[in-house]
Amino acid sequence: MHFIARLALAVVIGLAAHPAAAADKPSLTIYTYDGFAGEYGPGPGLKAGFEAQCGCTVNFVGTDSSIGALRRVQLEGATTSADIVLGLDTSIAGEARATGLFAPHGLALTGLSLPVKWTDPEFVPFDYGYFAFVYDKTKVANPPKSFEELIAKPTTFKIAIEDPRSDTPGLGLLLWIRAAYGDKAPEIWKGLKPHIVTMARSWDDAYGLFLKGEADMALSYTTSPAYHAITDKTDKYASARFDEGHYAQIEVAGMLKSSKHQDLAKQFLGYLTSVPAQKIIPTTNWMYPVVDLGADLPAEFNALPKPAKLLSLDEKTITANKDKWIADALAAIQ
């Protein structure tokens, strides 16, 4: 087995075994979160699709979270082997931009179909979704229609949410409440406190608890029910539509200034927003594509309710206030 041999070699000669660069093809290294790179995610499909046209090798490196991917590039600085960081979202794009590690993508990006007009010079969007609480229709007959209704429910009504420091949906909820309630946000958090069964480290844990029946609702995306409809063939899951409106998450990728394959990286970002690549996204990452796929978008996605109102905050405000908002929210539920 190739892997075992390499393993033994690495151990025996003291970690010094460099894998010889595969032939003389250039290779494009992409740091992303593990779920994206992994076998269930879009990674394998995108790799195959791009390799077929670029004459290069694509090498996805998964880290435990998208923030983890950014941190790793920050740690490695100019010596990083990454050409692209993929999987950041608009909530931490400001922080990423401030590191000065990212290069302008220089793409025209016409023909995008996004809830907002895209003008970002450094980051390229590749999918999006709306944060929402997902519930089981067979168990919850009257889902709350706003944060206030949620708070008014008896305290036996539980929600599983994510930690804003460790997880992008967690941060998304924080910004959602902030965008909807402004300075009254801590009061909403205080009201939510008795309903929070856990503030999990990651979306996986929170959603897992919800599926196990430990919570009545979990903070996820409006697109989550599409997964259950397509893969599990069940339509019992739905997202609760909130009157305040919903906050959007747009996932982005950016190329690094230190990359030795600027052209290749740019070419990949272009591919990422092309129709063939976007066709892979919905049923692997369970988010909306950023271009109009027409009939190629599974019908289950079109059946999902769109939010009544779109909430957003601008990048500068987020970057300036994020730490304080997190501290306020944590203090309110402590």
Partner 1 sequence: MPTPWPRSNSQPKVLPPRPLRLLGGAVIAMAVALLVVLVLWSIASAAYGQPETAAPLPDVAHLLRMSAIQAALSTVLSLLVGTALAWSLNRLRFAGRNLVIALFASAIVTPGLIVAFGLLTVWGRSGWINAIANVLFHTSIDTPIFGLGGILAAHVILDAAFAARILLARLDAIPSTRLKTGQGLALTPAKRFATIDWPALRGTMPGLAAIIFLLAFTSFPIVLLLGGGPANQTLEVAIYSAVRLDFNLHGAVILALAQIGFCSIIILAASAFAPIPSTLGPSAGQRWADRGFAKAVQWTVLLACIIGFALPLLAVLAGGFSSNLPALFARPSFPSALATSLAIGTLSALLTLVLALGLGSARAATLRPLARIGLAAPAYAYLAVPAVVLALGFFLLVRTMGIEPATAGPAVVILGNALLSLPFAIATLGPPLEAVASGQGKLIRSLGLSGWQQFVRVEWPLLGREIGVVLALAFCFSLGDLGVISFFGTQDFSTLPLLLVRALGAYRTDDAAIVAAVMLVITVAAFTALPQFFARWSDAQA
User: Closest distance between partner 1 and the C-beta of residue 160, in Å?
Assistant: 10
In the complex, the smallest distance separating the C-beta of residue 228 from partner 1, rounded to whole angstroms, is: 8
263 versus 323: smaller Cβ distance to partner 1: 323
Interface ranges with partner 1 (CB under 8 A): 1, 3-4, 6-7, 10-11, 15-19, 34-35, 37-41, 43, 59-65, 67-68, 71-72, 74-76, 79, 81, 158, 163, 165-166, 196-205, 207-209, 211-214, 224, 227-228, 231, 286, 323, 330, 333-334
In the complex, the smallest distance separating the C-beta of residue 294 from partner 1, rounded to whole angstroms, is 25
**Cβ closer to partner 1: 119 or 156?**
156
Q: Which of 67, 47, 69, 68 is nearest to 58 (CA)?
A: 47
Q: In DSSP terms, which residues pair with 103 in a beta bridge?
A: 255
Say how far apart CA 101 and CA 157 lie, in whole Å: 44
Distance CA 277, CA 201 (A): 30
Query: Can you read off the two tokens belonging to residue 7?
Result: 């393993």
Neighbours of 9 (CB within 10 A): 13
| Residue number with CB closer to partner 1 (53 or 99) | 99
- Beta carbon of residue 47, minimum distance to partner 1 (angstroms, whole number): 8
Whole-number minimum distance, CB 293 to partner 1, in Å? 21
Residue pair 126/173 in contact by the 8 Å Cβ criterion: no
Q: In the bound complex, what is the minimum distance in angstroms from residue 277's beta carbon to partner 1?
A: 18
Shortest distance (Å) from residue 9 CB to partner 1? 9
Give the sign of the dihedral formed by CA 109, CA 115, CA 120, CA 126: negative
Beta bridge partners of 61: 31
Q: How far is the CB of 192 from partner 1 (least distance, A)?
A: 11
Closer residue to partner 1 in complex, CB, 40/257: 40
Is 181 or 227 the residue whose CB approaches partner 1 more closely? 227
Smallest gap from residue 186 Cβ to partner 1 (A) = 14
Residues paired with residue 217 on neighbouring β-strands, in sequence order: 135, 159
Question: With respect to partner 1, which residue has the nearer C-beta, 130 or 286?
Answer: 286
CB 136 within 8 A of CB 194: no
- Rounded CA gap, 115 and 311, in Å? 10
Residue 192 — left, alpha, or beta (φ > 0 → left; ψ -120 to 50 → alpha)?
alpha
d(CA 114, CA 135): 26
Name residue, tokens 């941060």. 171
Q: Are 290 and 126 in contact (CB under 8 A)?
A: yes
Q: Cβ(105)–Cβ(124) under 8 Å?
A: yes
Which of 310/332 has CB closer to partner 1?
332
What number of other Cβ atoms are within 10 A of residue 48's Cβ?
11
Strands (E), 10-90: 27-33, 57-63, 84-89
